[in-house]
Amino acid sequence: MKSIIVSLLGKDKPGIVERIAKQVRLFEGNWLASNFAHMAGHFTGFVEIQLPQKKITPLLEQLDSMPELNIRLVEGETSPAQAIRASLEIMGNDKPGIVQEITSVLHQFNINILRFSSSCEAAPNWGGLLFKANIDIDYPEGFDIAPLSLALEQIANDLVVDIDWQE
Q: Which domains does the chain have, with CATH numbers?
A: 2-75 (3.30.70.260), 83-166 (3.30.70.260)
What is the reported pTM?
0.72
Q: Rounded to whole angstroms, what are the CA distances from 113 to 56, 107, 160?
A: 28, 9, 22
Instruction: Tell me the pairing of strands 2-11 and 42-51.
Output: antiparallel
pLDDT computed for residue 73 by the predictor: 77
Average of per-residue pLDDT across 125-154? 90
Residue in 104, 105, 96 with CA at minimum distance from that of residue 153: 105
Give the best-scoring range by mean pLDDT among 9-13, 64-68, 69-73: 9-13
Report helix, strand or coil for 165.
strand
Average of per-residue pLDDT across 34-56? 91
CA atoms of 155 and 149, how far apart (whole Å): 10
CA atoms of 110 and 112, how far apart (whole Å): 6
Could you read off the pLDDT of 74-119 as tens digits, one per residue?
776 655 557 889 999 999 989 999 999 999 999 999 999 989 999 9
